[in-house]
Amino acid sequence: MRIITSLFSMLLLSLLLLPMMSFAAEIPPLQLFLDGKQLTAEVAPLINKDNKVMVPVRIIAESLGSKVLWEEKIRKVTVNKSNISIQMFIDKKEVLVNNKAVQLDTAPSIVEGNAMLPVRFISEQLGIKVTWDDLTRSVFLFNQESDNKVTKPALPSNNDISKDKPSVNPDGKDTTKDKPSVNPDSKDTTKDKPSVNPDSKVPDKSLNKPDDKKTDKPSDKPVAANPNQPATTTNIDSGVNKLEPVTVIQSISMEGDNFIVKTSGGKAIPDVTTTANPNRVQIDIPNGQLAPGLKLNANGEGFITEKNASVSQIRYLLFSKESSIVRIIIDLNKKIDFRASTSSANTQLVWSLSPAKERYTVVLDPGHGGKDSGTVSVTGRYEKDFVLGVGTKVYNLLAKEPKIEIILTRKNDTFIELPGRVSIANDIKADLFVSVHGNSTGKEEVNGIETYYYTEQSLPFAKLMHQNLLKSTGFEDRKVKQEDFHVIKNTTMPSLLLELGFLSNKVQENTMFQETFQNQVASAIAAGIKQQLKLE
């Protein structure tokens, strides 16, 4: 009887272990790619006991032309490449980079004779861009040196865009809290944020709600190999060189007058360029891959048969394997307005096609005014006066354009609440909105141009305008930045907030109040608006 009971217990235990063994077998190993080519190492990338992604250093380093030396007795790995030397000891967190100590979160290890390092360290020290695809459990490495050799679209570099979204004040402080308002009876008009200055550019705190957070990191819960089983949480090191999720393009289609690109999600920020003669729209999606269903011909192109009255052909291709850019080209029969739609979502990019307008409406917003002086310069002059001068000059330039109706939110020293400025633009269904400001900080040496946007439909306009301002002013490039300032968050059209220099910098302030400078800046803003509307 005991023998039968023992056999039954063993059988029951085997049945209980079988699903676990089956699940373990179903989880595929992590895959490793360098510049689009799969690397076959003796050991695959793995997730270690500290929940960090580890990659084999030798195959990556040698593929990049580095030399790797292994010293068995002292368990030391040395990687040499041009001007960098990395020395590391197995199971020790301290690493020497050009003889300077660097502390790792997790120690190098040996797995089946291969030295394994955390992927973030590899990306920082060898100049590699790293992306992670939850769906395929793949680590994609892109050599920045080869990336520089690729012919890119004639657009401002994505390096112009600040990913970290710092506050308006470059030293990291909220100036509206550090100093009293010039007018103590100023009211907070936005209701959803603390503010001393009624035209304060302090970001809306609503952006910090969990639903609104954006991240370049992979999901905290990677997709499990078996969707019915829980996913393993992978802690990818955060920091400057963090993993960026790959956007898989699932489908491309026309639905009526809407052009729709469905994706796997992630932060897909497309670069959109429209041209005339020929009439064409070009969409570049960085960190992109084509789903298996989107087939390519022998020339490396794919075609979408769906069309409408304005579209003659839709093509797509993997424009750059090194930087993983998916390019979509829409050939048009005529000139159209191609606009990002508010119905775009995390997994769906939507643009609307409509007949080109005969006349466009632009709202120009000189910030502050009346009881709200804005920032006060180092010599006691007011931001509100500077921006009204620039705004008036832009107005005078664009008023001569037959295809533009230009509207100023204020033409004199009057105060308008923030919601009122937004309503002016939204109520008339303006095509563009531009708010003009002067910057300030507690550090007098800080100077430069900043261009802010909030919605993704505003990003191409922001990059275009920023380049114009840099060329016209010669000021330092403080980048294109995304922030939720009230006037650009709540307007429905492409909207910008321009910081045209630092009034807290004595040299820059003196320049900013000169007539010649203001004329140059006004011309740059007017040109940017005309370029965005395809009138120049």
Indicate whether 410 belongs to any domain: yes
Whether residue 365 sits in one domain with residue 350: no
Q: Average pLDDT for residues 43-54, to the nearest whole number?
A: 81
Which run of H or of E encompasses 294?
Answer: none
Cα separations (Å) of 56 from 67, 105, 533? 14, 17, 50
Q: What tokens does 438 get?
A: 């002067």
Indicate whether 422 belongs to any domain: yes
Whether residue 119 sits in one domain with residue 54: yes
Radius of gyration of the chain (CA): 28
Whether residue 369 sits in one domain with residue 346: no
Indicate whether 17 belongs to any domain: no
Whether residue 117 sits in one domain with residue 73: yes
Indicate whether 13 belongs to any domain: no
Q: Give yes or no for a contact between 192 and 206, defined as CB atoms under 8 angstroms apart.
A: yes
Query: What CATH number should be reported for the domain holding residue 375?
Result: 3.40.630.40
* Residue 418 banded pLDDT, cuts 50, 70, 90: very high
| Contacts of residue 468, Cβ cutoff 8 Å, sequence gap at least 6 | 524, 525, 527, 528, 531
Indicate whether 450 belongs to any domain: yes
Q: Give yes or no for a contact between 186 and 370, defined as CB atoms under 8 angstroms apart.
A: no
Q: What is the pLDDT of residue 198?
A: 39
Whether residue 326 sits in one domain with residue 460: no
Query: What CATH number should be reported for the domain holding residue 291?
Result: 2.60.40.3500
Interhelix angle 515-532/383-398, rounded to 10 degrees, is 50
> CA–CA separation, 288 vs 320, rounded Å?
10
Whether residue 367 sits in one domain with residue 348: no
Q: What is the pLDDT of residue 321?
A: 62
Whether residue 445 sits in one domain with residue 307: no
User: Counting beta carbons within 10 angstroms of the beta carbon of residue 408, is it exposed (0 to 12), middle (13 to 18) or buried (19 or more)?
Assistant: middle
pTM over 0.85: no
Q: What is the pLDDT of residue 42?
A: 76
Q: What is the pLDDT of residue 31?
A: 78
Q: What tokens does 246 get?
A: 């790959």
Amino acid at the residue 423: S
Residue 450, SS3 per DSSP? strand
Whether residue 101 sits in one domain with residue 51: yes
pLDDT tens per residue across span 378-416: 999 999 999 999 999 999 999 999 999 999 999 999 999
pLDDT tens per residue across span 70-115: 888 788 888 887 778 888 888 888 888 888 888 888 888 888 888 8
Q: What tokens does 61 get?
A: 């380093």
Q: What is the pLDDT of residue 320?
A: 67
Whether residue 414 sits in one domain with residue 510: yes
Asked if the model's pLDDT at residue 176 lies above 50, the reply is no
Indicate whether 514 belongs to any domain: yes
**Which residue range(s) make up the domain with 481?**
360-532
pLDDT tens per residue across span 127-167: 777 776 666 677 777 776 544 443 333 333 334 444 333 33
Last residue of a domain, one of 337, 355, 373: 355
Last residue of a domain, one of 355, 371, 395: 355
Q: What is the pLDDT of residue 2?
A: 56
Query: Closest by alpha carbon to 417, among 490, 512, 356?
Result: 490
Q: What tokens does 325 get?
A: 């850019």
Q: What tokens does 81 get?
A: 């490449």
Query: What CATH number should be reported for the domain holding residue 79?
Result: 3.30.457.10
Q: What percent of the chain has pLDDT over 70?
A: 72
Q: What is the pLDDT of residue 144?
A: 63
Indicate whether 151 belongs to any domain: no
> CA–CA separation, 148 vs 240, rounded Å?
19
Asked if the model's pLDDT at residue 502 lies above 80, the reply is yes
Indicate whether 194 belongs to any domain: no
User: Count of domains in the chain?
Assistant: 3
Whether residue 345 sits in one domain with residue 450: no
Whether residue 397 sits in one domain with residue 344: no
Rounding to the nearest 10 degrees, give the CA dihedral for residues 154, 155, 159, 160: 140
Residue-wise burial string across 265-302, b where 16 or more C-beta atoms lie within 10 A, e elsewhere: bbbbbbbbbbeeeebbbbbbbbbbbbeeebeeeeeeeb
Residue-wise burial string across 103-128, b where 16 or more C-beta atoms lie within 10 A, e elsewhere: ebebbbbeeeebbbbbbbbbbbbbbb
pLDDT tens per residue across span 274-291: 887 788 999 988 888 888
Whether residue 137 sits in one domain with residue 124: yes
Query: Closest by alpha carbon to 521, among 530, 512, 529?
Result: 512
Last residue of a domain, one of 339, 355, 371: 355
Residue-wise burial string across 315-327, b where 16 or more C-beta atoms lie within 10 A, e elsewhere: ebbbbbebbbbbb
> CA–CA separation, 310 vs 337, rounded Å?
11
